Amino acid sequence: MMKKFRSAEMQTAYKNGGYREQFAMVNGNKAEIYVNGHKCFKFTYSSRKEYQDANGATYDTVTKSWID
42: in domain: yes
3: in domain: no
pTM: 0.88
Q: What order do you get walking across the sheet with 38-44 strand by strand?
A: 29-35, 38-44, 57-60, 65-67
2: in domain: no
Show Cβ contacts of residue 6 under 8 Å, excluding neighbours closer than 6 positions.
none
19-27 and 8-16 helices cross at what angle (nearest 10)? 140
Stretch (H or E) spanning 58: strand 57-60
Q: How far is CA 5 from the centre of its chain?
A: 12
For residue 65, what pLDDT is reported?
97
Block mean pLDDT (10 aa), the chain, length 68: 81 94 94 96 93 94 94
Q: What is the number of structural domains in the chain? A: 1
1: in domain: no
Which domain, by its residues, includes 37?
Answer: 8-67
